[in-house]
Amino acid sequence: MRVMIAVLLALTASQALADEVDDAHRQALRGRDDYWNCLAREYQRNDAKAVSAQDFRADIAGACPSERQNFRVALLDYLDQKFPDAADGEHLTTANRAIELAQQDIITAFVRHKAAN
């Protein structure tokens, strides 16, 4: 009987941990989407069409600070829960790289659009 109770408690704890990881994953995805939507608004601004690619790159680097930070924090939380044994700083490097890639994607789209016009 004690073994069965211990197994049931372990399964319940395991499910609760899985639910927390799933929730953290959803939060990270929501943070990513919010950041991407903000970057897209920057891309679609009327005055963005008149700036150079270099100026747009500088604008994007400083754009959406709260959305960027929320995404970073949510992604760090998810990575910490999903991969708790990762090396120090590894998750921060991953989160910063995800932000860098999002910025690079929007800059690439801007440059291609500008070249096509």
Place of tokens 């992604």: 75
Dist CA 97 CA 92 (whole Å): 8
Mind listing the pLDDT tens digit for each residue in 27-38? 999 999 999 999
Q: Is the pLDDT of residue 54 over 50?
A: yes
Give the pLDDT score at 8: 45
Tokens read off for 23: 């929730």
CA distances (Å), origin 115, targets 108, 110, 112: 11, 9, 5
Mind listing the pLDDT tens digit for each residue in 60-89? 999 999 999 999 999 999 999 999 998 989
Dist CA 92 CA 51 (whole Å): 32
